[in-house]
Structure 1
Amino acid sequence: MRTTKLNEQTRSAALAAMSDDEGVDVLVIGGGVTGAGIALDAATRGLRTAVVEMQDWASGTSSRSSKLVHGGLRYLYQLDFKLVHEALTERGRLLRTIAPHLVSAQPFLWPLKTPVIERAYSAVGVGMYDALAILGARGLSVPIQKHYSKAGALSLFPQMNPKSLVGAIRFYDARVDDARLVLSLIRTAVGYGAYAASRTQVVEMTKDPTGRVTGAVVVDLETGESHTVRARHVINATGVWTEETEALGGTGEGLEVLASKGVHIVVPRERINGKTGLFLRTEKSVLFVIPWDRYWIIGTTDTPWHEPRQHPVATREDIDYILDHANAVLDPPIGHEDIIGVYAGLRPLLQPGTKGDDTASTKVSREHTVTEAAPGLTVIAGGKLTTYRQMAEDAVDFALGARAKAMPSVTARTPLVGADGYTATRRRSAQIAARYGWTSERVEHLLHRYGSEIATILEMIDADPSLGRPLQSADDYLAAEVAFAATHEGVLHLEDILLHRIRLSYETRDRGLSALEEIAGIAGPVLGWDAARTEQEITAYRRQAEAEIAAEHEPSDEAAAKARLRVEELVAVRELGPVDPTE
């Protein structure tokens, strides 16, 4: 594998390479988890691959999820065994092979409200969940279910209201830092030869005289320069922007996707007394209460979003909904004053069928669909984070057609950066802690973020001991983590660090504002910023954070969106409004 560094230099080189006369085999549009997975799948098949994203990597849905790798327990009650088996198989691969440093087993309690009937059917459902997981992973990757009396459940989660349950079932799923997963996929793809460029927007698709899509015109939003990328296959993996990207193909065919907003709140770990997560059934779907090292994530909502899609924001009503449902089982309850962070994301809800020609070749899964919007243009939409790898395999297989059999996917057994050597590195954790004077918690934090790449972090600290100090306003992170983001993780702007690398945007009450100058002081010199550029970056992030905080007090999506959009973008993308189906 070649270097997995992402920085301004590798980005410029990638843009030059993907737009050379040779062209590429596959051009992937979209840098979320699906596009990143497709780029890795294509690159590891030996295909000359390019991937572009109009914002930062993982800036959309893939950094604003519930951060769970799960089988979809609720689908068992719809008797969709195939879907659950697929998701649990992928969960096992992530835990064991692909990203064991990023994905961690997570226990959940399912509170029961009736003593016999609910326990019986829930036990059968969770038992099937465990059985499908064992089949998919060919063995146990997480512990199987365990039943608890009311007293036993309250011993595990003392803050549950005793009146809200008669007992509980403990089951396991897994959690992941979604943005880091995407970054790792992109960097691994680059290591296998892919060309990757963020802040690069597709503005036009090129065609040959027969109408076949032959590539795209992309604009480097950092410089304004245009590049033409010739590609044998173009794959659209743009989530809630699917239809806008399809429209560039000029056929009016493809997939129809609606945007649904999901909101999560974050509260300090000490504010909720529990040793597991909670899985709560609601009148609409489910609500998760998910423990992380320093906080709890609680969500989500599911409401239509009709405002501009680049910056979805939460409203007061969204936050109240989550608090109400969480407090139905928590005693004492949590309130607005306990919330340290809020984030909102948009799910791409795939609509039935395809637009245009009903005879178009299409591969349909329970949650995702791959189709040909135009000759040479493959589109994939739907799905979820857990099954990104299977989605990527399906998309590349579909684009290649008969050629796919000669170059099958290998990503089921391809570790991401940081996964190779992770177990051996983890066994040295006590030595690392002793050498650098760190707590075991500090080393665990680094291992779960970087895996075996902690060696690079240590080399940076050895070369410059000042990088070994904790950040003054966010002491859970080291200065070296900011520097690594700038040298290896594709950072172009200050917001990229706070939103997707060191995620103070939702981990602290002030959205990381108190750490801005310190982080800019570390990243700026690495990125070649002068004083004026540094101040511009700080001001831009501050205004953005203040606008999102203001939006949370608004009563409606329309008012919240207006509050957020009062702030101009530091790097503006081309406006992607709704597609008019009559045009």
Structure 2
Amino acid sequence: MLGKVEHEEERVVTNPRSGSDPAQLGPAGREESWRRFGDETFDLVVIGGGVVGAGTALDAATRGLRVALVEARDLASGTSSRSSKLFHGGLRYLEQLEFGLVREALHERELMLTKIAPHLVKPVSFLYPLTHRIWERPYTAAGLLMYDTMGGARSVPGQKHLTRAGALRMVPALKRSALIGGIRYYDAQSDDARHTMTVARTAAHYGAVVRTSTQVVGFLREADRISGVRVRDVEDGRETEIHAGAVVNCTGVWTDELQRLSGGRGRFRVRASKGVHIVVPRDRIVSESGMILRTEKSVLFVIPWRNHWIVGTTDTDWNLDLAHPAATKHDIDYLLEHVNSVLATPLTHDDIEGVYAGLRPLLAGESEETSKLSREHAVARVAPGLVAIAGGKYTTYRVMAADAVDAAVVDLPGRPPSSITDKVPLLGADGYHALVNQADHLAAEHGLHPYRVRHLLDRYGSLVHEVLALAADRPELLKPIESAPDYLGVEVVYAASHEGALHLEDVLARRTRISIEYAHRGVDCAEQVAHLVAGVLGWSEEETKREVEVYRARVEAERDSQLQPTDESADALRAAAPEARAGLIEPVS
């Protein structure tokens, strides 16, 4: 049996089969993982490296199961890096009377803030502007009272009622005519890509074999049951078979494609809903708080994000390329129009630093409006040995993962223990609070400004020592990246040596968020970052040059697509750009 947690305070243990830390997802471990895929038999194969797949691998590994996690692209390369970056109950779901979903999500938010990921998940305040007299304040207050108390929420302040003058002092950017008063409430936020990657590394720490750029190209069968998968190394074209007691399909918007590949029919259908966000500089909206604004269809968030604001989101059907959904000029205009309806100083296209589009995997229902499709998740044993899970929200990934494993263990011998991930802190959580108190000393030790150390602690937690150790003999790595000074060179090296980054895009778009936080979208620092990565991954000059060229071409295509009027024209431009993982193949129908 692999290492597992005995009680809440126990420190993580390493996989006894490995001489090195299995949570180090570096180049040295890829060959060992490939060997293990072919040589060993696993209890579960998890397909998909988004937050649900990573969470499923962690849930299964901490139950003592032998787990393999494969991802065709990069960890969090799809939906799980393109969300609103919130751990929230979903205030609007109260109006839809989905009390169970809200309670469950708020319970998960509390767990993340206090026990599982306090280094990655932080409280964030929102102003709810009131626009109707008499009825709206008591109506909203009643909903927020439930929001403040459901699910055991205790780690964020309760609602605070404000007059118009008080609300304008909190958010001077608002037009006076945009509100008659306001209510401040709290939720929580996180860097979704970093959180997902940390969940996957934690799963690896407990024994899961985690490998990216590893595409499922077929399913194995014994009689009438699924007995594993055939996978292809996207980087070099090798193929091997992974034998397992059960397979869990955690591929989100690709659920139906994988189901067809397995040769069976699914129990539910997944629809992709496109959500677009824009990123603008912090000084363009003068405010001490985020905002939640009603629209004709849903809600619009203005979310504080380091030195920026994230404004989103849209909610429209998407039937084109699932890997690279494209934001159109229409999408961006929609967001600007709605946020500008309440801002005293309007935002313009020139203010936009970054744009990103993600796809929500919604369970298809009778309604044709994606904003009304259920955010509940569904788990189905679609064939003996094959479980699929889809729907849900990022916030409830841990619950989804536990449900998926519960469904899969039916096909395994014995009775594995129940889920314990509510007691398992993610890597970097242990010791985080003490290090925050010691930030000044740590800064002095490494010659860094204390604010820089606090920034590192909120990205790596107690793994910060591991990050900074890479600069022990290379002090130049503690200098900021040129053209992206929020990040240090050592963070780029660590992304490739420990966090599984295999391509320049992985580093600029997900291990850091340079691609959305700077107006140049990573182009201006692409060469410097690529050369830092090349030293870890062993790229030749030619390979390094190709990585830079591919990244620049993708950014150019992305920019051009955002000037297009329709999904189809935008998608055509994005699809024509080169793929960093050129070895990906289309699923067999």
Deviates more, 1:83-92 or 1:243-252: 243-252
Q: Secondary structure at the match of 2:292?
A: strand
What displacement does 1:440 show?
3.0
Do 1:92 and 1:141's aligned partners in 2 also have CA atoms closer than 8 Å?
A: yes
Aligned match for 1:519, one of 529, 540, 545: 529
Do 1:142 and 1:172's aligned partners in 2 also have CA atoms closer than 8 Å?
A: yes
**2:350 aligned with 1:337, yes or no?**
yes
Whole-angstrom CA distance in 1 between matches of 2:290 and 2:433: 26
Aligned match for 1:427, one of 415, 433, 437: 437
Aligned match for 2:37, one of 12, 18, 22: 18
**2:66 aligned with 1:76, yes or no?**
no
Do 2:229 and 2:243's aligned partners in 1 also have CA atoms closer than 8 Å?
A: yes
What displacement does 1:157 show?
0.3
Instruction: Tell me the amino acid that sits aligned with residue 230 of structure 1.
Output: H
Aligned match for 2:586, one of 563, 575, 578: 575
- Identify the residue that residue 362 of structure 1 maps to in structure 2: none
Whole-angstrom CA distance in 1 between matches of 2:375 and 2:319: 25
**2:567 aligned with 1:557, yes or no?**
yes
What displacement does 1:405 show?
6.1
**2:389 aligned with 1:370, yes or no?**
no
- Identify the residue that residue 485 of structure 1 maps to in structure 2: 495
What displacement does 1:456 show?
1.2
What displacement does 1:560 show?
0.3
Instruction: Tell me the amino acid that sits aligned with residue 344 of structure 2.
Output: D
Whole-angstrom CA distance in 2 between matches of 1:258 and 1:114: 35
What displacement does 1:490 show?
0.3
Whole-angstrom CA distance in 2 between matches of 1:313 and 1:515: 23
- Identify the residue that residue 42 of structure 1 maps to in structure 2: 60
- Identify the residue that residue 233 of structure 2 maps to in structure 1: 220
Instruction: Tell me the amino acid that sits aligned with residue 17 of structure 1.
Output: R
Q: Secondary structure at the match of 2:185?
A: strand
Instruction: Tell me the amino acid that sits aligned with residue 270 of structure 2.
Output: V
- Identify the residue that residue 10 of structure 2 maps to in structure 1: none
- Identify the residue that residue 371 of structure 2 maps to in structure 1: none
What displacement does 1:462 show?
2.3
Do 2:38 and 2:240's aligned partners in 1 also have CA atoms closer than 8 Å?
A: yes
What does residue range 131-210 of structure 1 map to in structure 2 within 5 Å? 131-133=149-151, 136-137=152-153, 140-209=154-223
Aligned match for 2:242, one of 229, 247, 269: 229
What does residue range 295-334 of structure 1 map to in structure 2 within 5 Å? 295-334=308-347
Q: Secondary structure at the match of 1:415?
A: coil
Do 1:63 and 1:500's aligned partners in 2 also have CA atoms closer than 8 Å?
A: yes
What does residue range 415-564 of structure 1 map to in structure 2 within 5 Å? 415-564=425-574
- Identify the residue that residue 93 of structure 1 maps to in structure 2: 111
Do 1:243 and 1:254's aligned partners in 2 also have CA atoms closer than 8 Å?
A: no
Q: Which ranges in structure 1 are unaligned for 5 or more consecutive residues? A: 354-364
What displacement does 1:404 show?
8.7
**2:114 aligned with 1:105, yes or no?**
no
Q: Secondary structure at the match of 1:461?
A: coil
Whole-angstrom CA distance in 2 between matches of 1:373 and 1:12: 32
- Identify the residue that residue 241 of structure 1 maps to in structure 2: 254
Residues 505-524 of structure 1, C-alpha deviations (whole Å, 9 max, x = no match): 11111111010111112111
Whole-angstrom CA distance in 2 between matches of 1:381 and 1:194: 22
What displacement does 1:568 show?
2.4
Whole-angstrom CA distance in 2 between matches of 1:416 and 1:253: 33
Whole-angstrom CA distance in 1 between matches of 2:159 and 2:69: 41
Q: Equivalent pairs: percent with the same residue? A: 51
Deviates more, 1:62-71 or 1:517-526: 517-526
Aligned match for 1:411, one of 386, 411, 421: 421
Instruction: Tell me the amino acid that sits aligned with residue 574 of structure 1.
Output: I
Q: Secondary structure at the match of 1:154?
A: helix
What does residue range 118-129 of structure 1 map to in structure 2 within 5 Å? 118-129=136-147
Whole-angstrom CA distance in 1 between matches of 2:188 and 2:577: 37
- Identify the residue that residue 381 of structure 1 maps to in structure 2: 390
What displacement does 1:311 show?
0.8
Q: Which ranges in structure 2 are unaligned for 5 or more consecutive residues? A: 1-12, 15-20, 367-373
Whole-angstrom CA distance in 1 between matches of 2:426 and 2:35: 26
Q: Secondary structure at the match of 1:321?
A: helix
Do 1:313 and 1:560's aligned partners in 2 also have CA atoms closer than 8 Å?
A: yes
Instruction: Tell me the amino acid that sits aligned with residue 305 of structure 2.
Output: W
Whole-angstrom CA distance in 1 between matches of 2:465 and 2:437: 13
Do 1:255 and 1:379's aligned partners in 2 also have CA atoms closer than 8 Å?
A: no
- Identify the residue that residue 4 of structure 2 maps to in structure 1: none
Whole-angstrom CA distance in 1 between matches of 2:48 and 2:449: 39
Whole-angstrom CA distance in 2 between matches of 1:173 and 1:366: 18
Do 1:65 and 1:345's aligned partners in 2 also have CA atoms closer than 8 Å?
A: yes
Instruction: Tell me the amino acid that sits aligned with residue 421 of structure 1.
Output: G
Tell me the TM-score normalized by structure 2.
0.93
- Identify the residue that residue 370 of structure 2 maps to in structure 1: none
Instruction: Tell me the amino acid that sits aligned with residue 331 of structure 2.
Output: D
Instruction: Tell me the amino acid that sits aligned with residue 68 of structure 1.
Output: L
Do 1:242 and 1:255's aligned partners in 2 also have CA atoms closer than 8 Å?
A: no
Residues 274-297 of structure 1, C-alpha deviations (whole Å, 9 max, x = no match): 000001111111100001111100
Do 2:375 and 2:393's aligned partners in 1 also have CA atoms closer than 8 Å?
A: no
Instruction: Tell me the amino acid that sits aligned with residue 297 of structure 1.
Output: I
Given the superposition, is the C-alpha separation of residues 489 and 366 from structure 1 closer, same or farther in structure 2, using an over 3 Å criterion?
closer
Do 1:26 and 1:48's aligned partners in 2 also have CA atoms closer than 8 Å?
A: yes
Whole-angstrom CA distance in 2 between matches of 1:487 and 1:451: 17
Aligned-residue CA RMSD in angstroms? 1.5
Whole-angstrom CA distance in 2 between matches of 1:366 and 1:172: 21
Instruction: Tell me the amino acid that sits aligned with residue 528 of structure 1.
Output: G
Whole-angstrom CA distance in 1 between matches of 2:486 and 2:189: 19
Whole-angstrom CA distance in 1 between matches of 2:448 and 2:41: 48
Instruction: Tell me the amino acid that sits aligned with residue 282 of structure 1.
Output: T
Do 2:261 and 2:587's aligned partners in 1 also have CA atoms closer than 8 Å?
A: no
- Identify the residue that residue 84 of structure 2 maps to in structure 1: 66
Tell me the TM-score normalized by structure 1.
0.94
- Identify the residue that residue 409 of structure 2 maps to in structure 1: 400
Whole-angstrom CA distance in 2 between matches of 1:8 and 1:127: 50
Instruction: Tell me the amino acid that sits aligned with residue 540 of structure 2.
Output: D
Q: State how many pairs are aligned.
A: 561
Instruction: Tell me the amino acid that sits aligned with residue 86 of structure 1.
Output: E
Q: Secondary structure at the match of 2:405?
A: helix
- Identify the residue that residue 25 of structure 2 maps to in structure 1: 6
Do 1:220 and 1:226's aligned partners in 2 also have CA atoms closer than 8 Å?
A: yes
Do 2:375 and 2:391's aligned partners in 1 also have CA atoms closer than 8 Å?
A: no
Whole-angstrom CA distance in 1 between matches of 2:242 and 2:235: 18
Do 1:397 and 1:404's aligned partners in 2 also have CA atoms closer than 8 Å?
A: no
What displacement does 1:366 show?
6.2
Q: Secondary structure at the match of 1:6?
A: coil
- Identify the residue that residue 291 of structure 1 maps to in structure 2: 304
